[in-house]
Amino acid sequence: MLTQEGTISFIAELMGAIENFIAQYEATRGPLANDLERGLVLSYVLGVMRCELDTIWDCLARSSAFGDLHPRLVFEECLNKEHPQNAARVAWIEEELKKRGWLAET
């Protein structure tokens, strides 16, 4: 989670959680039929994760420590989307998706 460079990344943990979900899903519902079905299931899982993360963030924002300022706004102001690290992160995530067969080759 905390890299040697001092950055924070949950990619490995998230990929592991998704992998575990897919394994449980296929064990109970049978194998996913094709790339589209796999992509739809992955998309749904990511949506559920995002919803739950947003809910956690919203609950945190209710703390009196933040007053009227939502901590998400503070984070978004600090986030630099043009940072070179973001391109490397996208490449790493794409590679992880391909390794697991979750991203169809184009």
Coil, strand or helix at 63: coil
Residue 2 is assigned to a structural domain of this protein: no
Asked whether the whole model's pTM tops 0.85, one would answer no
Mean pLDDT by 10 residues, the chain (106 residues): 84 94 96 94 96 94 90 76 75 89 77
Per-residue pLDDT, 50: 96
Residue 4 is assigned to a structural domain of this protein: no
Q: How far is CA 79 from the centre of its chain?
A: 16
Residue 105 is assigned to a structural domain of this protein: no
Residue 106 is assigned to a structural domain of this protein: no
Number of domains in the chain: 1
Residue 92 is assigned to a structural domain of this protein: yes
Q: Are 26 and 100 in contact (CB under 8 A)?
A: no
Residue 5 is assigned to a structural domain of this protein: no
Q: Which domain holds residue 63?
A: 11-99
Residue 32 is assigned to a structural domain of this protein: yes
Per-residue pLDDT, 106: 61
CA distance 92 to 23: 22
Residue 63 is assigned to a structural domain of this protein: yes
Per-residue pLDDT, 74: 79
Coil, strand or helix at 106: coil
Which helix (H) or strand (E) is 84 found in, with range? helix 84-99
